[in-house]
């Protein structure tokens, strides 16, 4: 073995020299006898989990809001607004089979498809084109006229009052 | 009056000095802390040196050795005897040492500028072995600086093998790499060290 090999060996042995602390056994056994560390209480774990869930939900909501600038709108079919059935007894409006739709969101960007230019109507989503919606038929409403007995109103009569003048001592 | 001594009925105290590791592990699992203490004594040096190889600091290595033994005691049920107890223990110590090293390096990086590599504490001049004193104190100092400058994937195998008490097979299991890779890394590390020493003007006589 040459000089450099011997130097390398000597340097390495120096760098990892030692047998460890002689009282390691005592230290380890003392730690073993210690009571185990108590885990975090359940309520703390649950509170932390709830906090994380709220944070994640908030971030997810913010990311799916389509009106923000510079954010690609989420892929959602346009929501349909269905007419609400009028309450019984209310005057019947003209029954209409027209189903209004909410303004459609711009089509999401898809790789390989040309993005719509400004002023150009965005293509409808395939799900909107293909779906046929049957008109909602409302049953005719029967309006019963009000029938009440006539009310007799008695004339109000006020008795004449007599006022006596006060005596001198009462003034 | 004549005192008569009768032999006690107590069985002779079983010595654990001659019991092998597997039997000590069985006893330790049953709650025999003395048996585990014997395991600590037997493998203290190996665990400490592995931690020292990873961390380069005696104080940190002592802490890691202690934590490694505690972790081994708590995980004793997961030891299935596929490797020797020593190898299993060294794996735990090595993982703990690497975790500690990552934490230390990230702490250093907060204070040291990005260009400077983290300085691993070195053995002081007072720790110099007689062999190193005989060779050349300056040369040994150069080698140690060059070792610290090696990438971790070469430095770690080189240092952990420097102990000389573990086989390549055991060390490869501890580091989680194939034995051939381990041998190549050790040889490559030594070759680089000698190359750089020659460039510094030392002759390979």
Q: Where are the domains of chain B?
A: 19-113, 130-205
Residue B53 corresponds to which tokens in the numbers above?
């190889």
Structure confidence by residue, pLDDT tens digits, B164-177: 888 999 999 999 99
Inter-chain contact B37–A29, Cβ cutoff 8 Å? Answer: yes
Helix residue spans in B32-84 (DSSP H): 33-55, 58-74
Do A103 and A78 touch, CB atoms closer than 8 A? yes
Q: What percent of chain B has pLDDT over 70?
A: 80
What does the longest C-alpha to C-alpha distance in chain A come to?
Answer: 148
Is A16 near chain B, with CB under 8 Å?
yes
Structure confidence by residue, pLDDT tens digits, B32-83: 888 999 999 999 999 999 999 999 888 999 999 999 999 999 988 888 888 8
Structure confidence by residue, pLDDT tens digits, B127-166: 556 665 666 788 888 899 999 999 999 999 999 998 888 8
Distances (CA, A) of B102 to A26, B58, B89, B99, B146: 28, 17, 20, 5, 21
CATH 1.10.1740.10 holds for B19-113: yes
pTM here is 0.56
Q: What percent of chain A has pLDDT over 70?
A: 56
- A2, A11, A19: residue with CB nearest B48: A19
Do B46 and B165 touch, CB atoms closer than 8 A? yes
Residue B38 corresponds to which tokens in the numbers above?
């014997």
Inter-chain contact B197–A4, Cβ cutoff 8 Å? Answer: yes
Inter-chain contact B73–A6, Cβ cutoff 8 Å? Answer: no
Inter-chain contact A16–B49, Cβ cutoff 8 Å? Answer: yes
pLDDT at position A75 is: 54
Is A33 near chain B, with CB under 8 Å?
yes
Give the CA angle between residues B95, B99, B102 to the nearest 5°.
135
How does DSSP classify residue A69? T
User: Could you give the CA distance from residue B43 to residue B52 in angstroms, rounded to a whole number?
Assistant: 14
CA nearest to B62 within chain A: A20
Do B172 and B91 touch, CB atoms closer than 8 A? no
Distances (CA, A) of A155 to A89, A161, B148: 36, 19, 116
Do B93 and B122 touch, CB atoms closer than 8 A? no
To the nearest whole number, what is the mean pLDDT of chain A? 72
CATH 1.10.10.10 holds for B130-205: yes
- How close is the nearest chain B Cα to the Cα of A33, in Å? 9
Helix (H, G, I), strand (E, B) or coil at A80: strand
How does DSSP classify residue B146? H
pLDDT at position B121 is: 45
């Amino acid at each position: 073995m040459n000089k450099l090999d011997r130097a390398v060996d000597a340097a390495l042995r120096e760098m990892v020299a030692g047998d460890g602390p002689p009282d390691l056994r005592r230290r380890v056994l003392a730690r073993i006898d210690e009571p185990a560390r108590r885990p975090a209480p359940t309520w703390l774990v649950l509170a932390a989990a709830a906090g994380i869930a709220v944070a994640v939900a908030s971030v997810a909501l913010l990311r799916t809001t389509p009106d923000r600038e510079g954010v690609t709108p989420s892929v959602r079919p346009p929501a349909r607004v269905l007419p609400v059935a009028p309450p019984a007894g209310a005057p019947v409006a003209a029954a209409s089979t027209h189903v209004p739709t909410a303004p459609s969101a711009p089509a999401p960007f898809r790789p390989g498809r040309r993005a719509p230019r400004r002023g150009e109507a965005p293509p409808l989503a395939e799900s909107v084109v293909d779906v046929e919606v049957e008109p909602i038929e409302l049953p005719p409403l029967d309006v019963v006229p009000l029938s009440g007995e006539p009310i007799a109103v008695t004339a109000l009569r006020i008795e004449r009052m007599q006022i006596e003048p006060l005596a001198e001592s009462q003034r | 009056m004549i005192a008569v001594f009768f032999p006690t009925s107590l069985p002779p105290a079983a010595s654990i000095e001659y019991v092998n590791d597997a039997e000590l592990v069985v006893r330790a699992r049953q709650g025999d802390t003395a048996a585990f203490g014997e395991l600590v004594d037997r493998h203290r040096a190996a665990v400490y040196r592995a931690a020292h190889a990873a961390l380069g600091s005696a104080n940190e290595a002592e802490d890691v050795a202690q934590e490694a033994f505690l972790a081994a005691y708590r995980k004793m049920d997961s030891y299935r005897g596929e490797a020797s107890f020593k190898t299993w223990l060294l794996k735990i110590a090595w993982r703990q040492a690497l975790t500690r090293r990552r934490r230390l390096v990230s702490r250093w990086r907060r204070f040291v500028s990005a260009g400077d590599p983290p300085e691993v504490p070195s053995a002081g001049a007072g720790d110099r072995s007689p062999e190193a004193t005989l060779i050349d104190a300056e040369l040994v100092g150069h080698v140690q600086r060059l070792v610290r400058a090696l990438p971790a994937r070469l430095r770690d195998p080189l240092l952990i093998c420097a102990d000389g008490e573990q086989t390549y097979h055991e060390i490869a299991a501890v580091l989680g790499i194939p034995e051939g890779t381990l041998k190549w890394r050790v040889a490559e590390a030594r070759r680089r060290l000698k190359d750089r020493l020659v460039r510094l003007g030392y002759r390979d006589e």
